[in-house]
Structure 1
Amino acid sequence: MIKVEGLTRAYGSFIAVDDISFECRPGTVTGFLGPNGAGKTTTMRVMVGLTPPTHGDVTIGGLHYKNIPNPGRHVGVLLDASAQHAGRTGREVLEIGAQTMGLPGQRVDEMLDLVSLDAREAKRRVRNYSLGMRQRLGIAHALLGDPSVLILDEPANGLDPAGIRWMRGLLKGYADQGGTVLLSSHLLHEVEQIADEMILIGNGLIVARGTREELLRDATGGVATTLVTALDNHQLTEALTEKGLPVHPAGAGLRVNAEPVDVGRVAAERQIVLTDLRAGNEGGLEDLFLELTADTQRDTLPDEATSEVPA
């Protein structure tokens, strides 16, 4: 478990992280989300002893990182994939890590295979790696000691779509086996697909936290909405209205103030064929994220960029 208590990190008069507290539990993936410069990396650097806190405390498994014996066997860390020694080969990077942790040499081959770096790529100098390859090598190094905790800062940077899907599966499987994962990113869509809980940070402050469903509920004021399209939208409108469910036109379909299961049940009862049925608050989480971190965004979005888009 990772436990952050009243953590503050100041640089002179600038407060990078401002009195934040949260926990990451075993068997879960926690998404740590915020714009660039929100305080995510600073928090992670404090976690692994690279930056001292100004106030507060961070423990991993009840210990400060510096007090964990052979920490690589307990905590896997990837903060900067480009920080690896450029003159070494990928295999050498992992071999040195294995020797430092007292691991058998075969563990290097297992990790290279896990992250899909083949024998030819493993012999190349890191300076000749693409960013995506460096990310894979960094993930391999983080997993080398078979740790119970993973702390990863922007691990999807540089990965292609197939690589991002691979990483999602890898981290979800790791958590399913009891591991604790803290995953930082500014890519909300990628993290929400695997995170059990999300923590939104802006200007060094936690501005929201919870599961995807809890955050969506907050984003829509607790009102469930559904987007639905039928072969006969008029017939579906009448059926839903009779059940007391408010219906509004939305593009080629309808927006209903109800859960998708309730809309589907009404359609099934009336034998109405649906061609589309989905939660209508899909943009709610992104809208909430942008709203809560608006004062830290570098770009000003036009009004229509955050307005509701019909289906």
Structure 2
Amino acid sequence: MITVDHLTRKYGDFTAVDDVSFVAQPGRVTGFLGPNGAGKTTTMRVMVGLTPATAGQVTIGGHLYRDIPNPGRHVGVLLDASAQHAGRTGREVLTIGARTMGLPDSRVEEMLALVSLSPEESKRRLRNYSLGMRQRLGIAHALLGDPTVLILDEPANGLDPAGIRWMRGLLKGYADRGGTVLLSSHLLNEVELIADEMILIGNGRIVAQGDKQSLLATETVSSLVTSLDNAALAAALQAAGHTVAAAGDGLRVAATTVEVGRAALSAGVVLTDLRVESAGLEDLFLSLTADTQRDTQAAAPAPINAGGAA
């Protein structure tokens, strides 16, 4: 179990993590989600003792990370897949880790096989690894000591679709066996497929948390509808107090499908399509962190020399 208790980390006047509290439970994958710069990595660095907290604390199994003896046997960590000596081979990286933790060299072979790094690939130096290969090696190193807790920062970066599916199955199986997984990512749609619990963070503060169903239940219900007379239907819906907007060939209505159907019946309008507008985690997150997003919709820049040839 990972317990984050009123954690704050400041750098001068800048607050990177602002009074964050949550619990990552055993047997569950907890997704720690947010845009770049939201405070995810800083929180994880505090967890494993690489960055001191300004206030609050993080405990793993009830202990500060620095107080855990031989921590690699209890907590598997992947914060930066490239943070290894570029001149070492993948096998050397895992062998050093195994011997540091007091593990037999046979554990290295098991981990290489687990992450599908071939004998030839394991003998390459890290400077010649692709990002995806480095991620696989990083996951192997995190799992080397057979820990009960995994802390992984953006582990899907650089993995191809097959690799992402493999990682998803690996982590889900790990949690099913009772392990605690904390997985940070900005790939919201991918995390939806694996996380049991989600922590959404923006500008260093938690903006929402819970499972997918409970998070999306907080979204305003809306319906998409088309009819033989959209103008008459819109008038009936507005008269009933519902907000209506054009949406393609139909209307988007801030109301349930039952309420839309009743308004159509009372107006004598025939419906040709009526459905709930399904909201996704990405839509929810963007709406909750709209003021923290770096990118906004803007017109495309004019082409160079748009006024004529140079």
TM-score class normalised by the smaller sequence: 0.7 to 0.9
- Say which SS state the counterpart of residue 290 (structure 1) adopts: helix
Are 1:199 and 2:199 matched, yes or no?
yes
The 1:128–1:19 alpha-carbon spacing in structure 2 relative to 1, beyond 3 Å, is same
Determine the structure 2 residue equivalent to 1:162. Answer: 162
How much has 1:301 moved relative to structure 2? 2.8
Aligned positions of 1:221-232 closer than 5 A? 221=220, 223=221
| Structure-2 separation of matches of 1:155 and 1:109 | 21
Superposition RMSD in Å: 2.7
User: What one-letter code is carried by the residue in structure 1 that aligns with 2:147?
Assistant: P
How much has 1:251 moved relative to structure 2? 6.4
Determine the structure 2 residue equivalent to 1:109. Answer: 109
Contact 2:256 2:276 in 1 (8 A): no
Are 1:79 and 2:75 matched, yes or no?
no
How much has 1:291 moved relative to structure 2? 1.6
Determine the structure 1 residue equivalent to 2:283. Answer: 287
Using the size of structure 1 for normalisation, the TM-score is 0.80
Determine the structure 1 residue equivalent to 2:179. Answer: 179
The 1:279–1:134 alpha-carbon spacing in structure 2 relative to 1, beyond 3 Å, is farther
Contact 2:31 2:182 in 1 (8 A): yes
Using the size of structure 2 for normalisation, the TM-score is 0.80
Determine the structure 2 residue equivalent to 1:215. Answer: 215
How much has 1:257 moved relative to structure 2? 3.7
The 1:224–1:149 alpha-carbon spacing in structure 2 relative to 1, beyond 3 Å, is farther
Contact 1:152 1:182 in 2 (8 A): yes
Q: Structure 2: give runs of 5+ residues left out of the alignment.
A: 229-244, 259-273, 300-310
Q: Give the length in aligned residue pairs.
A: 270
Aligned positions of 1:98-137 closer than 5 A? 98-137=98-137
| Structure-2 separation of matches of 1:288 and 1:44 | 24
| Structure-2 separation of matches of 1:25 and 1:278 | 36
The percent identity for this pair of structures is 77
Q: Deviations over 1:195-248 (max 9, x none)?
A: 0011110110000111101111112x2x386x899xxx99xxxxxxxxxxxxx9
Determine the structure 2 residue equivalent to 1:33. Answer: 33
Q: Structure 1: give runs of 5+ residues left out of the alignment.
A: 235-247, 260-276, 304-311
Matching residue within 275, 292, 297 for 1:301: 297
Show structure 1 runs of 4+ deviating over 3 A.
248-259, 277-280
Contact 1:132 1:158 in 2 (8 A): yes
Larger Rg belongs to: 2
| Structure-2 separation of matches of 1:61 and 1:278 | 46
Aligned positions of 1:137-152 closer than 5 A? 137-152=137-152
| Structure-2 separation of matches of 1:279 and 1:136 | 40
Contact 1:216 1:281 in 2 (8 A): no
How much has 1:282 moved relative to structure 2? 3.9
Determine the structure 2 residue equivalent to 1:21. Answer: 21
User: What one-letter code is carried by the residue in structure 1 that aligns with 2:35?
Assistant: P
How much has 1:27 moved relative to structure 2? 0.3
